[in-house]
């Protein structure tokens, strides 16, 4: 009997799970066996640890991912760290193909003076805190009254909304006590969001922006002088319903009168950050006024403004990180690849003719960079899966030394790796829902790695560890 075609996927976020799902459904005449590996005790990546807790509709994506893994034809090995618990050689010895879908989890660099001052924060770090990432500290300094957020995408909007929102309005979500108490102690009164380009170029999604206008006890303040629309902007509005909705919502905000709310959220456009000000710690932000150039792009005017702030959050995007035994392009923050085939070169432009890393592939943000919404990862996965099947049919993939499904379990157990399987995840989920039910909430996140591992093993013990 022909053995199954064995595939390992490193990273169990949406990109990895979509790749596994699409591979099981691909047209083929042979059996596949897929194993998912995840560094954290739970899967789902940025859907669990990158989406603000007051966006349950977006987190509903998790329900679709759960259905995929509930089928039982994809094995999950969580709490397994690539590079320490398993190596590339371990995987290529046991699988016909290895896909990396590790995503982008760190803040992209903002190269202006002052980024290292006390009170200057990366947005990803703050998101990890309020999303209760198990590998970050449980305290966060929220003593600033005036806060700047640099960026014009959904992460900037999430950070600004969470900072401005009253803690009691967040308590109905899944946040654990340490996040609630931290937000409740916040001294913030004003949050200012700065975008380098104009309103028509903002990268907010319409739903997120509209929801911003319904946050209780928060006034949304925009500035009419920031509302410039050049020919490029008007063309974008006419050609994209999403841009049209964003521009309309922002324009509607200009008509709102302040209500005297306890907190204010200010949206600024056409302000490029020049320097984070301060000596030792943040005291302000310097921006340069921009003007639209007719194409929707901007140029500096030389007019500089100094703003007084107590903290600055940098929400200018995510970046990928290098992985052991794999090539890495630090300029783009990706594993160098040609259409998902990993190549041994840093020059993506020449990737088509580069030497391939045999049997190794990439998908998701670590393949293309941190652009696009979660749904875009399906297209990435289709392309990568197509090449894997093509390489398999062409006979260019090496036979694994240990192709048995039990081989990876034997290896992990021999190394003493305390991996969590899919049933273990359901026990974590049950423990979180039980904690939520006790407070009249849907769930409360377990915030520590130890608590999650305890829940995966024993629900009763988990109650005292979380």
Binding residues for NADP(+) are 152-155, 196-197, 208, 372
CB 368 within 8 A of CB 348: no
Annotated binding site for FAD: 15, 38, 46, 365, 372-374
Say how far apart CA 265 and CA 391 lie, in whole Å.
53
Say how far apart CA 44 and CA 50 lie, in whole Å.
10
Question: In a 10 Å sphere around its CB, with 0-12 CB exposed, 13-18 middle and 19+ buried, how is residue 361 labelled?
Answer: buried
Residues 6+ apart with CB under 8 A from 265: 160, 161, 164, 190, 191, 193, 212, 215, 218, 219, 220, 221
Say how far apart CA 307 and CA 136 lie, in whole Å.
30
Q: Kindly report each contact of residues 371-378 with a partner whose C-beta sits within 8 Å and lies 24 or more positions away, as own/partner.
A: 373/205, 374/14, 374/46, 374/47, 374/61, 377/14, 377/15, 377/18, 378/18, 378/22
Nearest to 44 by CA among 61, 25, 22: 61
The per-residue b/e assignment along 160-194, b for 16 or more CB within 10 angstroms, e otherwise, is bbbbbbbbeebeebbbbebbbebbeebebebbbbb
Say how far apart CA 120 and CA 130 lie, in whole Å.
17
Annotated binding site: 15, 38, 46, 152-155, 196-197, 208, 365, 372-374
């Amino acid at each position: 009997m022909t053995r199954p075609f064995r595939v390992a996927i490193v990273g169990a976020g949406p990109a990895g799970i979509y790749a596994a799902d699409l591979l099981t459904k691909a047209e083929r005449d042979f059996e596949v066996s897929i194993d998912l590996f995840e560094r954290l005790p739970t899967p789902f990546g940025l859907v669990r640890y990158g989406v603000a807790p007051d966006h349950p509709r977006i987190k509903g994506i998790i329900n679709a991912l759960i259905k995929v893994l509930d089928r039982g034809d994809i094995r999950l090995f969580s709490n397994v760290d690539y590079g320490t618990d398993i190596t590339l050689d371990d995987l290529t010895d046991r699988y016909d193909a290895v896909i990396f879908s590790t995503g982008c989890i760190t803040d992209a660099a903002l190269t202006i003076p002052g980024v290292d001052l006390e009170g200057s924060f990366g947005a990803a770090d703050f998101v990890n805190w309020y999303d209760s990432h198990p590998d970050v500290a449980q305290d966060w300094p929220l003593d600033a009254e005036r806060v700047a957020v640099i960026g014009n995408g959904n992460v900037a909007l999430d950070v600004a909304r969470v900072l401005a929102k009253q803690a009691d309005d967040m308590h109905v979500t899944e946040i654990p006590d340490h996040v609630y108490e931290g937000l409740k102690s916040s001294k913030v009164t004003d949050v200012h969001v700065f975008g380098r380009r104009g309103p028509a170029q903002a990268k907010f999604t319409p739903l997120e922006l509209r929801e911003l206008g319904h946050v209780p006890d928060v006034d949304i303040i925009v500035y009419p002088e920031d509302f410039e629309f050049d020919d490029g902007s008007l063309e974008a509005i006419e050609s994209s319903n999403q841009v049209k909705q964003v521009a309309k919502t922002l324009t509607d905000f200009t008509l709102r009168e302040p209500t005297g709310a306890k907190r204010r959220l200010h949206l600024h456009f056409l302000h490029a950050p020049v320097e984070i000000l301060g000596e030792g710690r943040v005291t302000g932000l310097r921006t340069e006024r921009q003007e639209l150039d007719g194409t929707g792009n901007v140029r500096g005017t030389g007019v500089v403004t100094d703003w007084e702030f107590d903290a600055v959050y940098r929400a200018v995007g995510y970046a990928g990180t290098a992985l052991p035994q794999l090539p890495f392009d630090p300029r783009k923050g990706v594993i160098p690849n040609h259409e998902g085939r990993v190549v041994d070169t840093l020059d993506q432009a020449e990737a088509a003719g580069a030497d391939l890393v045999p049997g190794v592939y990439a998908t998701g943000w670590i393949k293309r960079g941190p652009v696009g919404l979660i749904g875009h990862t399906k297209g990435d996965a289709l392309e990568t899966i197509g090449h894997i099947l093509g390489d398999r049919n062409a006979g260019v993939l090496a036979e694994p030394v240990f192709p048995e499904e039990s081989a990876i379990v034997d290896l992990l157990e021999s190394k003493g790796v305390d991996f969590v399987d899919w049933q273990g995840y359901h026990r974590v989920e049950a423990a979180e829902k039980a904690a939520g039910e006790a407070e009249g909430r849907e769930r409360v996140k377990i915030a520590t790695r130890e608590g999650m591992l305890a829940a995966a093993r024993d629900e009763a013990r988990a109650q005292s560890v979380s």
